[in-house]
Each structure stands twice: as C-alpha cells, then as structure tokens.
C-alpha cells in the first residue's frame, strides 16, 4: 500500500495519457449526468461532480446503488465506474441504464463490465488492473473529467493543472508523509471525526473510506454548515475518545469560516485534539488533490502505528463470500 500511495503522482500522469488516447463518441441531448459506482470506484464520481460544480450547467449526481434514479433516461449520461468490472451493484445499475437507453460510458479494468460494454458497443476506457480499487482513484477520477470535457459538459483546463499538481505532490511527498505520520500517532487511539464545507464532501468521504479500509478504524464526517443545525448538539456529551480533523482548502465561504472557528471552540471544550489540515497549491484542483493525498498517507500511517495490515479487507471479503452463496 505504501508504494501505491507513493505512486499517486505517477498515477496522475498515466491517467492523463489514458484519457488523451481514449476513443469516445460524442453524446447528444444530454440533460443530466449520473456517475454510478461503489467504494473506491465510486468516490471518483463524487469528487468529479464537485470539481466541475462551478462550471457544469446541468445536474451531476452520483449513485451507489443496485438501480438508478427514475429520472435517468436517454438524455442522461451515465458514467459506470467499476475498477474490477465485477461489482454486483454497479453491474445491476448498468443493466437498468441499458434498459432506460441512457447514454453510457464505462471506466473499468475489465471483468463483466467490459464484457457488457463490448456486447452493447458502449464507450469504454480501460484502466490498469490488479490493485486494490481504493489505490487507483487517480485513474477513475481523471477519466471522468476527460469524459465530461470530451462531451462539452465542463469547461476546465484540467490537463495543465494536473501536470502542475504532479510536480507539486512529488516535491512535497516527504513533507506530507511526515506530517501524516505525526497526525496518525495522535489519532491511533481515537475515533476521527472529519469536518469540512459541503463543496469538499467528496474529499471528506475519501478520507473516511481510506481510514476505514487502510486504517481499520471507524470514522465519520460532517459538513458545515449543515452540522451546525443538528450534530453540533451531540457535542454536549462528547469525550476524549474522539479527535477532530478539519479539512480546509482556504477557499471557504466567509460565513462558513466563522462558523468553523466557533465550532472549534465548542470542540476544544470536550476533546484535546482538534487539528486543521490546510491544503497547499496554486489552484482549487491542486488543493483538493493535496488533501486527498494527505488523507491517503494518514490512513496508511494509522494502520502501521496501530499494527494493522493496510491492504487486507477481511470483513468485506467475508461479506462477498456470504453473498456469493445466495
């Protein structure tokens, strides 16, 4: 897992090459976008929807289910993301999308998704296989940006930005790893709670998923300002078994920045560990990727400090084996 996390900048470069060479057909009459996928394959859609949120002029939603929303039809671009190509929920959603005559593009390393795509002559982008899906985020995420750009659904100079991000992350890799290790040592015996603005929820979900799978720890995330209207009351009974991580890119809405600082004061009355992870980078996209990479390193170090194997997913394997019996 360590080598896969270290390779994140390389994954970005390889993803750019794959996207540039992808053979896609132009979709027409698109009124909605739906990215469907689960876990490490699904989070790319969530993050992509937030990257393009400032300029995409039609709704972009994500789906983590066996079916797809009833509104999805022939005017919906459905991006099917399954790293293995065998995710049963995504396969079921793909079949529904075919029945609805949605305009479909698949992102996968192979498996049943590739077979169905070939049989139905669907646009498909093949990404490298053989690794844990959660370690291949760059591939699924960046291909979705290419798909949107190719179909004129997003105006963003993301290729140039990503090339600059590779240089930034490569240069700061050791520093990020050192900071993440120090943070993991503080959190190893605590339940991490993540807070950020709603526009960065995809990043927070990525952190939570990585803490779960790599770090073998429970975790939850809350969004500002929504958590101010409910979860904040739960802090009245909080204790030092918890720790707070605030994810910030420095671009927060001014009232949310004020809310965050007021909340920090509330948190510190109950717990003695409240840390802010401040993103670095010259662009919104660079800061988002910095936070993602920091979270990956943090989850890895949580596993090592906590004497856990960051690769194994015993409970997920058990669940899949039990489902396979039915």
pLDDT digits (tens, 9 = 90+) for 166-185: 999 999 999 999 999 999 99
- Classify burial at 29, counting beta carbons within 10 Å of its beta carbon; exposed 0-12, middle 13-18, buried 19 or more: exposed
Q: Which of 156, 186, 211 is the last residue of a domain?
A: 156
Is 316 a domain residue? no
| Helical spans, DSSP H, in the chain | 2-6, 8-21, 39-51, 88-99, 111-119, 137-150, 158-187, 201-213, 231-234, 254-268, 284-305, 314-324
Q: Residue 181's domain is classified under what CATH number?
A: 3.40.50.10490
Total domains present in the chain: 2
Q: Which is nearest to 273 in space by CA: 190, 177, 203?
A: 190
Contacts for 154 with CB less than 8 Å, ≥ 6 apart: 52, 55, 56, 145, 148
The pLDDT profile of the chain, 326 residues, written as one tens digit per residue, is: 999 999 999 999 999 999 999 999 999 999 999 999 999 999 999 999 999 998 999 999 999 999 999 999 999 999 999 999 999 999 999 999 999 999 999 999 999 999 999 999 999 999 999 999 999 999 999 999 999 999 999 987 899 999 999 999 999 999 999 999 999 999 999 999 999 999 999 999 999 999 999 999 999 999 999 999 999 999 999 999 999 999 999 999 999 999 999 999 999 999 999 999 999 999 999 999 999 999 999 999 999 999 999 999 999 999 999 999 98
The residues annotated with a catalytic role in the active site are: 213, 229, 320
Residue 59 and residue 263: Cα distance in Å, rounded? 32
Is 85 a domain residue? yes
Residue 164 and residue 148: Cα distance in Å, rounded? 21
User: Which structural domain, as residue segments, surrounds residue 73?
Assistant: 2-156
Is 270 a domain residue? yes
User: What are the beta bridge partners of residue 197?
Assistant: 224
Q: Which of 98, 125, 156 is the last residue of a domain?
A: 156
The verdict on 191 and 120 lying in the same domain is no
């Amino acid at each position: 897992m360590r080598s896969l996390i270290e390779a994140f900048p390389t994954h970005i470069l390889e993803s750019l090459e794959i996207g540039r060479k992808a053979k896609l057909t132009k979709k027409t009459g698109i009124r909605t976008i739906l990215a469907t996928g689960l876990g490490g394959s699904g989070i790319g859609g969530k993050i992509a929807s937030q990257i393009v949120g400032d300029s995409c002029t039609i709704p972009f939603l994500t789906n983590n289910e066996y079916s797809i929303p009833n509104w999805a039809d022939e005017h919906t671009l459905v991006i099917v993301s399954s790293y293995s190509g065998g995710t049963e929920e995504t396969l079921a959603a793909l079949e529904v999308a075919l029945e609805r005559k949605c305009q479909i593009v698949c992102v996968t390393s192979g498996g049943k998704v590739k077979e169905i795509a070939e049989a139905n002559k669907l646009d498909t982008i093949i990404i490298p296989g053989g690794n844990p899906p959660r370690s291949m985020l760059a591939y699924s995420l960046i291909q979705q940006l290419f798909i949107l750009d190719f179909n004129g659904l997003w105006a963003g100079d993301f290729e140039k930005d990503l090339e600059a991000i590779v240089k930034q992350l490569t240069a700061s890799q050791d520093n990020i790893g050192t900071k993440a290790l120090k943070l993991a040592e503080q959190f190893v015996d605590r339940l991490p709670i993540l807070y950020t603005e709603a526009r960065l929820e995809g990043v927070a979900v990525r952190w939570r998923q990585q803490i779960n799978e790599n770090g073998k720890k429970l975790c939850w995330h809350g969004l500002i300002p929504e958590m101010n209207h409910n979860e904040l009351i739960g802090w009245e009974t909080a204790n030092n078994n918890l720790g707070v991580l605030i994810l910030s890119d420095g671009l927060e809405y001014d009232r949310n920045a004020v809310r965050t600082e007021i909340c920090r004061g509330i948190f510190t009355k109950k717990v003695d560990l409240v840390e802010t992870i401040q993103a670095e980078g010259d662009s919104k996209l660079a800061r988002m990727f910095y936070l993602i990479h920091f979270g990956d390193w943090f989850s890895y170090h949580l596993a090592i400090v906590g004497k856990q194997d960051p690769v194994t997913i015993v409970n997920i394997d058990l669940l899949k084996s039990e489902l396979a019996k039915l």
